[in-house]
Amino acid sequence: MSATFTLDGKEVPFRDGQTIIQAAQEQGAWIPHLCYHPEFKPHGSCKLCTVTVNGRHMASCTTQATAGQVVESNTEALNDERRTLLQMLFVEGNHFCPSCEKSGNCKLQATAYELGMMTPHFDHFYPSRPVDASHPEILLDFNRCILCSLCVRASRDVDKKFVFALSGRGIGTKLIVNAASGRLADTNVAMDDKALEVCPVGVILRKRHGFAVPIGERTYDKAPISECPDYSPLPAKEEA
């Protein structure tokens, strides 16, 4: 018999070493998350996956499952807190979805839809970070970066290239390109790098491929994110 914990009152079996979010996803239960990706080590930065474990707030992507835990996720209080986190992410960047090529395929946007966010609520930061258009095929718009570090992890752990890194402190923390010039064109990034496909938002974009999918047929037009398997839409590798 395998060990279980309860998630919102339902028994969830798990294997040794699994985190709460891993075990939950295996059962098809969606816990909101942005920086967690099943193929990578957890990062614990977005805090969207916060649940209560035996009454205490924990990030479910970094908390190991143990037998008998009482986990709550889909509660009004937790979803309120998640909406606040989403609002913070929206005002910290320039999320002008109407002109963003990732709109409809973006996990930040889809999660905000799922949690019914009607407004970003806080005062906007309106950051002004220059885009990097140096590479002939790839565009980077850093003003939409949520510092999830998925590109950093993918480049380091899968591509073995260290193309991206997080740098700076506090609100000054930003994504940088590891080249003496700081420009993507001066790295050994390649179009089939894993790092290019994991960005959950509209930072890493393939040039000249925007707006290819008709409205209504984009990933999160068809189903809410809670019903989608973990999906990281790429700047279309294979062009339709």
Give the interface with another protein as residue ranges (CB under 8 A).
Answer: 90-91, 94-100, 103-104, 109, 112-114, 116, 118-121, 123-124, 126-128, 224
Q: Which residue is associated with the tokens 């209504």?
A: 216
Classify the C-alpha dihedral 229-233-237-240 as positive or negative: positive
Q: In the bound complex, what is the minimum distance in angstroms from residue 202's beta carbon to ligand SF4? A: 3
DSSP classification of residue 82: H
- Which of ligand FES, another protein, ligand SF4, none does residue 116 bind (CB under 5 to 8 Å by kind)? another protein
Q: What are phi and psi of 165, to 5 degrees?
A: -155, 155
Closest to another protein by CB, 1 or 215: 215
Exactly one of 35, 147, 177, 195 binds ligand FES (CB under 6 A); that residue is 35
Closest to ligand SF4 by CB, 78 or 225: 225
- Lookup: tokens for 110: 């889809």
Closest to ligand FES by CB, 33 or 156: 33
Element (H, E) at 114: helix 107-114
* Inter-residue contact 110 to 227 (CB < 8 Å): no
Nearest to 30 by CA among 201, 228, 175, 162: 228
Of residues 89 through 108, those in contact with ligand SF4 by CB under 6 A are 95-97, 100, 102-103, 106, 108
DSSP classification of residue 98: G
Nearest to 105 by CA among 227, 215, 207: 215
Q: In the bound complex, what is the minimum distance in angstroms from residue 200's beta carbon to ligand SF4? A: 6
Closest to ligand SF4 by CB, 20 or 148: 148
Cα–Cα dist 11/30, whole Å: 15
Q: What is the dihedral of CA 10, 232, 43, 99, to 10 degrees?
A: -110
- Which of another protein, ligand SF4, ligand FES, none does residue 120 bind (CB under 5 to 8 Å by kind)? another protein
Residue span 115-144 as binding mask against ligand SF4, x where in contact by CB under 6 A, dash where not: -----------------------------x
Exactly one of 48, 49, 59, 198 binds ligand SF4 (CB under 6 A); that residue is 198
Closest to ligand FES by CB, 32 or 104: 32
